[in-house]
Amino acid sequence: MVENSGHNGHRERMRQKFRNDTDLSSFTDLEVLEMLLFSVIPRADTRETAQSLLNTFGNLNTVLSVDIDTLCRVKGVGLKCAEHIVFLGQVFRRAEKESLISVQADDFDDLSRYLINFFKGDTVGRLCAFSINKSGRLTASTVLSVGITDRIAFDIEDLKTFLKQNNAEMLLLAHNRTDGTADPTEEDILLTRKIRNLLDDEVYLLDHVAVSTDNAVSMRSRGCFRSFE
């Protein structure tokens, strides 16, 4: 299908808006994702596909974190498009490592600020893993699950591979709460215990942090680990 003049005009207006501002502060996640898809969907309106992706995964960060097969299940996303999104996500995570270098896991004030900013703007729950090196600094992150439940919704072998690739000495878990509170729940404790048991003590589980819009709570400091350590 050849893109019509309305679509062409809309794309040019979006590009002109970016040229005028030279940053994305005035763009919504929908507009950012829409423009991101311009190069890989050259002859169709990308707004509907971008909206479907956001409706499915909740935010731009999660869209850039899921795998190719999962992306291909979304209406309007083909293999080429999914590969493009995953590649950009990998570029984003490589660049993100630079911002992790200064985050010390045992400085909870510093860690809290980082995690609150990390989850900022999320509209769905995400469970994330962070690798920690011998110096106690965060080195990389990965999304384990979208939509937090008391059920393991990811492959533990993927987590082990992530930790091995990043030479992790320790593991930090973190998830965001969308109900306005960061207080850990019984489901959070159950999930943490399951993950720890599946890891078979291969890597030390340092903490699991629950994050709200403006607060972060350490489950270890709350005594939540006592029931399984």
The structural domains of the chain, with segments of one domain joined by +, span: 5-95, 101-218
User: 154-177 burial by CB neighbour count: b if 16+ within 10 A, else e?
Assistant: eeeeebbebbeebebbbbbbbbbb
Q: Write the pLDDT tens digit of every residue in 58-107.
A: 888 789 888 899 999 999 999 999 999 999 988 877 766 556 667 889 89
Question: What residues pair up with 176 in beta bridges, in sequence order?
Answer: 211
CATH of region 5-95, choose from 3.40.50.10260, 3.30.70.1070, 1.10.150.20, 1.10.3720.10? 1.10.150.20
Of 175, 177, 157, 168, the closest CA to residue 205 belongs to: 168
Q: What is the pLDDT of residue 3?
A: 46
CATH class of 101-218: alpha beta
On the question of a common fold for 5-95 and 101-218, the answer reads: no
Q: Is 0.75 surpassed by the pTM of this model?
A: no
* pLDDT tens, position by position, 129-153: 999 999 999 988 888 887 755 444 6
Banded model confidence at residue 209, pLDDT cuts 50, 70, 90: very high
Enumerate the β-bridge partners of residue 208.
173
Higher pLDDT, 73 or 125: 73
